[in-house]
Structure 1
């Protein structure tokens, strides 16, 4: 009886003693030229039948990934085994690259990697690069390489944090250029310090699609991918309370006691630092709550709220009104991450892209759907709760460009921060669907958002805005006659301490009537970069 995918048959296993400690080191693939001794951490180079020590690898830092050496799976009809890992890092965060050994097919085995990419997984195959790499790729610019048209998504200096197992070559630091295209592919060009470029092309995958066996287990015997993560506790550098990240990918989290935003270390050492922030109102959807939602193109899945951000745009003119919005970071153990975004115009469910849309004069296109450009603005983060897979900073500022489909149901956004461009796509959700999915009992007024601004464009949208402003003036006058609080509607919808209510109160002190500004989705875009 079959028990699941089996490890690929070895082409010719080769074993030798580590030249440093004498422990056995085994190679299962003829393509592997390097390994890290599991006993003394020596980095070894294989030259024919000889092993030589060329360096020392640092200890693998504990990241609670569900993958481990020896795990097996299937992809595109072929079996594979996880035989090695490289942990890399840059200013955008840290990530894993797992070396996969596929079933033998021909004289030259395929070199494959399973890597982390913006909260998702990408499976890539290395390919020969017959042309010279571009000298100075620019983030956000188009680029032609290996016969395809790409957009440059990131250019980072990637360090090697640690390595283990069997690798196709000794791990080296170097510059990594990440490319994306309209076919939803990810290209990775690694410009190594030794001068040899490495080129690979991949696509996003979900772990559930890979029929994985032999995943890590906790002390209680549960699968890490299906059960609880082994606990790790780090003292908050502000108040000393224990921080206990629940996710393997967590790079930043907020202390539940003092609400300091804390940078987490690579290992289980002291926290790296913190940024103080004032307590604020609780989010509408509590952290830890799980709801069933359907991401476009995927089946309905259970998503857990693990993080919460409040953001706003930065007006070009100090007299312009600001737009405020909220983003819930959702996690599914096998599907990765998604964002549930709450703006004045409505709710939307968002995923980051592994590909990149095709640009045009009128806007952009993605997977056969046209999007019209709406707004370009700066946005910043004003409050956070929970934990995140990228390094979160208060007052982080990004450049955002928002697009929408003609019917207003589909949203597309481009966000650039430093050396990385992130695209994300989503679809609007009825407020009732959000309330039902998460079993919320708060008053309906707190969830009802008018999504009509997404559904109209051009002259029609302008007419609606004019009429809406006129009606709001009349309504505001009536409210003043009946109530001492001209901003009661914002108080009811968002809470007394919300940014919307505070902004309204600030404006009514001068004019008596608050008219909210238009022209922004309120940052539908969800960033959270972290290359790979």
Structure 2
């Protein structure tokens, strides 16, 4: 049954050499454990436990998983027996060690968090030497397969618990992805050869999980509140209480500063001031029911909001602005609801990577054509984010669309990571209905370019527009003014001197009265880039 732990080949129990508490090994593949009482890191050598260090305290996070939870994958049952919390400049994540049903050969399996999604992977032998210096964004052949290098990071060990196949170490981790929606991971270790694993994205709802963390009574899965930590805002001193302890950046509700959050209960790392902007159309904390392509409708909660813009390469290029809402579901992870001047779309990050050719991409047998490549930056943010959000950080973006324009792909590269996301367009009426919004349709479908960025672009546009109106008015008055006014004032409107001056000014023998229109000219209707 899925709600029962898999039968171990042989359970082994011993006392912690530091505190005497019982430590049990359920998997023959496990060689190390963390004592649940004194946090000692223990290594198993035959029937002897040796203490080699101390593990930090596990910091609470939003994950619904916990030690002892059970589930099924590919027809086999498994139990969650250990966890490693890792972190890098890209954020923090959990790697859960899984014990599958007893078989001929113990399998080392992991259920890991991946850019708001989940990946289940199995360790595998690697018969070839991996490259010494993989480069982000470039192709790579390993294990007989073609991959794209998605990230190269120094992954620190924040904490660990339960039983693990080896002592977790800080070191370089290379993440690979391919068009088959697979994720490859290379963990370089100083105490041995690199550890190689291959996996693919999974939905927690499809794993028949039992024994998950329970939500508070009366709360839905998406609205469950999680124990957070309180940190003083370094800008104004107001308390910051992130709901997701994995949160790396959040915005102070009092002064709107963007604050970099530390691990644990330490002081905030720093902040970036930003001026209050127009409120988002969908309030933070609002829950709506949406169906991501190919999945059933689920409840999604708005936990973050950001306004972004492209960075024109030429002064004459038109600048575009758009808005992104970060959505959260306890079992499904994260998704993005994107509002642009072209309409709404619902997208998620991919665990795999599309195949690309010059000017095109292919993902899951669907062809996409490249639309634009540009640099983008954040201009305003609210709420919480599972990655470090900073204003004015540059990201290289390439957007693709299917022939009918309904399906979208996007590639973003920043520093040591390449991230792909995919989704499809969404009618504004569906968004209104999902989140129970009462805003007028005209407001709800407003042009995203009307939003200013942190540099006050909207104010600049207004000033420039007023200036142009003044210049235009002056020109119109000049065009409609009478160049023969002095003759009119001296000799009168019916004098020969005034009439002759008007004839000379017109360039013909025809008298042209002032005012009126010419050639169907109007102030609108021209082209607009």
**Structure 2 length normalisation: TM-score?**
0.85
Are the equivalent residues in 2 in contact too, given 1:341–1:349 (CA < 8 A)?
yes
Distance 2:422 2:117 in 1: 14
Distance 2:220 2:190 in 1: 38
Aligned to 1:505: 462
1:152-178 CA deviation, whole Å, 9 max, x = no partner? Answer: 000001111111110001111111000
Aligned 1:490-529 pairs, distance under 5 A: 501-502=458-459, 504-512=461-469
Q: 1:427 and 1:223, CA in 2 relative to 1: closer, same or farther beyond 3 A?
A: closer
Q: 1:221 and 1:297, CA in 2 relative to 1: closer, same or farther beyond 3 A?
A: closer
Aligned to 2:472: none
Q: 2:81 aligns with which of 80, 83, 86?
A: 83
Shift of 1:271: 2.2
Shift of 1:19: 2.3
Q: 1:129 and 1:319, CA in 2 relative to 1: closer, same or farther beyond 3 A?
A: same
Q: 1:255 aligns with which of 252, 256, 259?
A: 252
Shift of 1:321: 2.6
Q: Name which structure has the greater RCO, CA cutoff 8 Å, separation 6+.
A: 1
Q: 2:68 aligns with which of 47, 50, 70?
A: 70
Distance 1:96 1:333 in 2: 15
Aligned to 2:491: none
Aligned to 1:104: 102
Aligned to 1:299: 296
1:447-469 CA deviation, whole Å, 9 max, x = no partner? Answer: 3369xxxxxxxxxxxxxxxxxxx
Q: 1:297 and 1:516, CA in 2 relative to 1: closer, same or farther beyond 3 A?
A: farther
Are the equivalent residues in 1 in contact too, given 2:120–2:199 (CA < 8 A)?
yes
Secondary structure of 1:228 counterpart: coil
Does residue 424 of structure 1 match 2:381? no
Aligned to 1:365: 362
Aligned to 2:6: 8
The structure having more radius of gyration, on CA atoms, is 2
Are the equivalent residues in 2 in contact too, given 1:320–1:517 (CA < 8 A)?
no
Are the equivalent residues in 2 in contact too, given 1:66–1:223 (CA < 8 A)?
no
Are the equivalent residues in 1 in contact too, given 2:87–2:156 (CA < 8 A)?
yes
Secondary structure of 1:196 counterpart: strand
How many aligned positions are there? 475
1:308-348 CA deviation, whole Å, 9 max, x = no partner? Answer: 00111111123333111111111111111111111111111
Distance 1:88 1:6 in 2: 28
Shift of 1:292: 1.5
Are the equivalent residues in 2 in contact too, given 1:78–1:102 (CA < 8 A)?
yes
Are the equivalent residues in 2 in contact too, given 1:313–1:324 (CA < 8 A)?
yes
Does residue 155 of structure 1 match 2:152? yes
Q: 1:95 aligns with which of 85, 93, 96?
A: 93
Unaligned runs of 5+ in 1: 451-488, 519-532
Aligned to 1:444: 441
Pairwise CA RMSD: 2.6
Shift of 1:193: 2.2
Shift of 1:503: 5.7
Distance 1:506 1:373 in 2: 35
Does residue 47 of structure 1 match 2:45? yes
Shift of 1:20: 2.5
Shift of 1:219: 8.0
Are the equivalent residues in 2 in contact too, given 1:218–1:230 (CA < 8 A)?
no
Does residue 379 of structure 1 match 2:376? yes
Are the equivalent residues in 2 in contact too, given 1:323–1:517 (CA < 8 A)?
no
Aligned to 1:130: 127
Does residue 352 of structure 1 match 2:349? yes
1:87-118 CA deviation, whole Å, 9 max, x = no partner? Answer: 11111111111101011121x21111111100
Aligned 1:229-248 pairs, distance under 5 A: 229-248=226-245
Aligned to 2:494: none
Unaligned runs of 5+ in 2: 470-522
Aligned to 1:37: 35
Secondary structure of 1:390 counterpart: coil
Shift of 1:221: 11
Q: 2:22 aligns with which of 10, 21, 24?
A: 24
Shift of 1:22: 2.5
